[in-house]
């Protein structure tokens, strides 16, 4: 027997079961995403340090730092030397 909206009780049961399965799948997916988020949050300091280090390297930080140290070698007293680079004391 059809209800006021033209659907039978069996159709309504099937729709409810389908919605229940979709909801269970969505909850499972959400739990998986939250698990990844919690793991990342727990390791945030290490991830941030790695990102800073990678940015430094990709930005040419090592070469720029060594050029800065070499330039300072011509402006002050040399304290330490490594190859053509030197650490200086600026008085």
Extents of the domains making up the chain: 1-42
The DSSP result for 42-72, as a single string, is HTHHHHHHHHHHHHHHHTTHHHHHHHHHHHH
Report whether pLDDT(25) > 60. Answer: yes
pLDDT tens per residue across span 33-81: 777 778 878 888 888 899 988 888 877 877 777 777 777 555 556 667 7
């Amino acid at each position: 027997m059809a209800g006021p909206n033209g659907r039978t009780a069996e159709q309504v049961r099937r729709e409810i079961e389908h919605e229940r399965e979709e909801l269970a799948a969505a909850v499972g997916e959400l739990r998986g995403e939250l698990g990844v988020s919690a793991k990342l949050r727990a390791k945030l300091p290490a991830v941030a340090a790695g990102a800073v280090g990678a940015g430094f390297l990709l930005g040419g930080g090592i070469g720029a730092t060594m050029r800065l140290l070499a330039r300072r070698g011509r402006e002050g007293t040399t304290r330490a030397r490594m190859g053509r680079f030197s650490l200086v004391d600026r008085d």
